[in-house]
Structure 1
Amino acid sequence: MYIFSQLLPKLGQAFTLNLGEELAERRLVFTAFTPPVDARERYTLAAWLSAHLAFQVAEWHEIAQWYGFESVRGFSEGVSAFSPEDLYSNLAGARLAASLIVGGQTKTQEMYNTAMETALRQALTQLAAQPAQITRFQFDMLDGRWWNSQRRVPEKYLVLHRNYQMGDDRLPTAIPGEIMPLLPLSLPHCWRGIQLSTLAQLQLWPSEDMAQLPPPAHYYSEKDFAALAEQARLQDEKTQNH
């Protein structure tokens, strides 16, 4: 919602939206272009472009957590980095939010919150979500494979299995022995012939405290995410095998 609220009034203009530091200075850089004449089309384009960028911000958060970001100083967030459900659930959230925006459910914060609660319940029903008791049982079945119940937050290897895949064309992390088909989720990269990547870019510029993040030549962008995630995967594999 925040990105959309800042983008819609300026759609088609060149401007930069600063999102603050997260191991790097996060900047959304928008390019100048001729937006659709129709107000409804401008609104829809802004909604999907915002979702596209919001998911990239979520991807960066996973990377930043692994490379040493701390929202509370002294409290490592490495345990949460690339956890199996994170980016799939973030992608689902981005899709739901965009759908509510396009559907006109954002006139007030209360309207949006109510609509999102309804949309989440519907999505969970479609995904055959299970009661808490069954969910806890399934978590217990993954103890020792996906997580270690003998460890506590913030110990990094409380989480034993991670999903380092980047990108907004995703399947949920497969659970061993699961017979239900995996539901793919994705975001559009093109709207009415317009490539969304040509309209805006998330740029990650060097900051004063980058922890273990290697400094980029100029700045990081979505194109660098897969390589940073793969480096993290290789390091985790090496550490866990020793």
Structure 2
Amino acid sequence: MAPHARPATVRRRLACRAMWMIGRLIPQTSGLIPAEVWLCILRGSSNLSGPSNSPGDRIPFRAVYPIIPGRVTPHRKKPTHGVTWFYGRPRNIVGRTRKAGEPEDHRGWQGMMRETMKETSYRTLGRLPILGLLALVLPAAGCGILPDRTLSGPASQVIREGFDGIPRTRYGCYAAAIPGMTFLGSKLGSHNYHGPFFEKDGIAYTCRGGHIDITHLRIGIDWTAYLVAESYRHLMRNDPSFSCKMPVDRSRTHVHITYPFGWDCLSEEDRSAIAERIALALGPYLTFTMVSWHEITTWYGYKCIGLPVEYDSAFSWEDSYSNLLGTMIAVRALQDAEHSYNKAVTIAIDEEMQRLGVLPSAGQARLASKSMKGQWYTGIFLLLFDMKKRNFDIGLDDGDMTPTLVPHVPQCPRAEPQSYPVPTLDVLAEYGFSVTIEIEPREWEKDKILRVVFGNDPQKRINPQTHLAIIMDHIQQEAAAKYGPEYNPGNRLHEPQYVQTGR
């Protein structure tokens, strides 16, 4: 430190240089920070009401110029008061060249700085709409502004540490070969919990799983992982209940937990191990229940984004199976103690898609869908589109879900559908736990659904363990009236989309 330099002056110099570096990295910074804040930094005081003439408050020029990058360039010669040098020519600090014979500006550095920062702020106002748009678009796309500490460690730590926020919102596709629909091959990119970067979303086709909506797959994965961590957290805190909801739905799911006798007497290690097993069952079950409820509300007219075509997505032939795959893949990824969460999910997705026999190119997936045009769906445009093929199998009859396969796909000779069990809560009884789950409908269409279950009885909540079968039976009867008797739940055809609901 120079002998004549005061500590306060040095601190102010360092602060200004730091802000100058920020201004270089983020050009909008210098214009968005009010002039009073800069002056407060320069003077080292919060009192900005009057001039300061004490020697300690006379700021050296080298402490002033960095905060106006691109406007003032220092010169090796010491400038006169209120004047700097720009390529050897005398200029006022505000950036205007002093004309010959013009008197020197004696407003002092404070007045000049206020005028300069005001001018810079006005110039930056034009950037505010862009910044505001980014502030809305990035969170809407699910982009995390700050890094999630959980994503840097092994995926198995997610259960106990949780995420910094809920999964981002994603919107799926239709498995129909119409303009605007994205089809994929075997290259699905890298999974990303917070942002869409490096991901690929769309419709792929597999020989043993039929069409897979990769967006629904990722929704099931991230929500399962999130709810596993949330369930673990509430179990370790002995919470008697908690609730959750997806941003695309208005309904809220309530979970009531009954703990076994002596739960509080167990060691922390034993409680953690048991809570982890319970959470690995509760998370997938809650996720699959919530996404199935979304299909139900959509069938009865609920519109997430306000488009009339959303009804066509209700129980479309690929949705529920894609959701189920997501819950399964999440459980596998959460047991990976070697890779980070996003990497573990990426690996698990690729392995499962290869197991199901994914077609390598997007063109092949599109052709598989195009071959069913006129039979499974009609229309050539999103708003002029009618979905005729549905799969109402959500495992209520035998506990398994079977996908719908496109017949006669050249790349899939003699392919058989791969059935998987739906999530259950059987493991809870092994440890003496019991859970009651209730859905509180909040959609405008809720009265239609409640009337199916309760008639005129003014009940407000749905118990999925007992009421989903009643609702699905009614939905299939409506489908039979609209699309044909093959959807009637009384018929037992060989195709899985016509199975009984278990009522």
Match of 1:194 in 2: 430
Residue of structure 2 aligned with 1:114, choices 314, 333, 343: 343
What is the one-letter code of the residue matched to 1:77?
E
Q: Distance in 2 between matches of 1:85 and 1:197?
A: 34
What is the one-letter code of the residue matched to 1:230?
D
Structure 1 residues 35-44 or 93-102, which shifts more? Answer: 35-44
Q: Tell me the TM-score normalized by structure 2.
A: 0.42
What is the one-letter code of the residue matched to 2:430?
I
Q: Residues 1-242 of structure 1 correspond to what in structure 2 (within 5 A)? A: 1-11=225-235, 12-19=238-245, 25-34=251-260, 37-73=270-306, 75-104=308-337, 111-130=340-359, 131-148=361-378, 150-155=379-384, 158-167=386-395, 169-177=400-408, 179-186=414-421, 187-191=423-427, 193-194=429-430, 198-201=434-437, 203-207=438-442, 209-210=444-445, 213-215=448-450, 216=454, 217=457, 218=459, 219-222=461-464, 223-240=466-483
What is the one-letter code of the residue matched to 1:220?
I
Q: Distance in 2 between matches of 1:226 and 1:173?
A: 21
Residue 208 to residue 166, structure 1, CA distance change in 2 (3 Å): closer
Deviation at 1:8, TM superposition (A): 0.8
Q: Which of 1 and 2 has higher RCO (CA within 8 Å, sep 6+)?
A: 1
Gapped regions of structure 1 (runs ≥ 5): none
Q: Distance in 2 between matches of 1:174 and 1:228?
A: 25
Deviation at 1:91, TM superposition (A): 0.6
The C-alpha deviation readout for 1:1-38, integer Å capped at 9, x for no partner, is 22122211221531121426877632231212136825
Percent of aligned positions with the same letter in both sequences? 20
Residue 5 to residue 200, structure 1, CA distance change in 2 (3 Å): farther
Q: Secondary structure at the match of 2:288?
A: helix
The C-alpha deviation readout for 1:96-137, integer Å capped at 9, x for no partner, is 11122233479xxxx212211111111111111002122111
Structure 1 residues 60-69 or 13-22, which shifts more? Answer: 13-22
Q: Distance in 2 between matches of 1:129 and 1:115?
A: 19
Structure 1 residues 221-230 or 89-98, which shifts more? Answer: 221-230
Q: Tell me the TM-score normalized by structure 1.
A: 0.82
The C-alpha deviation readout for 1:168-227, integer Å capped at 9, x for no partner, is 5211124335721211111344227539993241x2224362267332542212222232
**Aligned residues of 2:315 and 2:391 also touching (Cα < 8 A):** yes
What is the one-letter code of the residue matched to 1:39?
S
Q: Distance in 1 between matches of 2:432 and 2:250?
A: 23
Q: Distance in 2 between matches of 1:196 and 1:159?
A: 45
Deviation at 1:50, TM superposition (A): 0.7
Q: Distance in 1 between matches of 2:427 and 2:233?
A: 19
Q: Secondary structure at the match of 2:333?
A: helix
**Aligned residues of 1:85 and 1:172 also touching (Cα < 8 A):** yes
Residue 141 to residue 208, structure 1, CA distance change in 2 (3 Å): closer
What is the one-letter code of the residue matched to 1:121?
D
Residue 2 to residue 17, structure 1, CA distance change in 2 (3 Å): same
**Aligned residues of 1:8 and 1:46 also touching (Cα < 8 A):** yes
Figure out how many residues of one structure are paired with residues of the other and give that number: 234
Q: Distance in 2 between matches of 1:208 and 1:138?
A: 35
Residue 152 to residue 234, structure 1, CA distance change in 2 (3 Å): farther
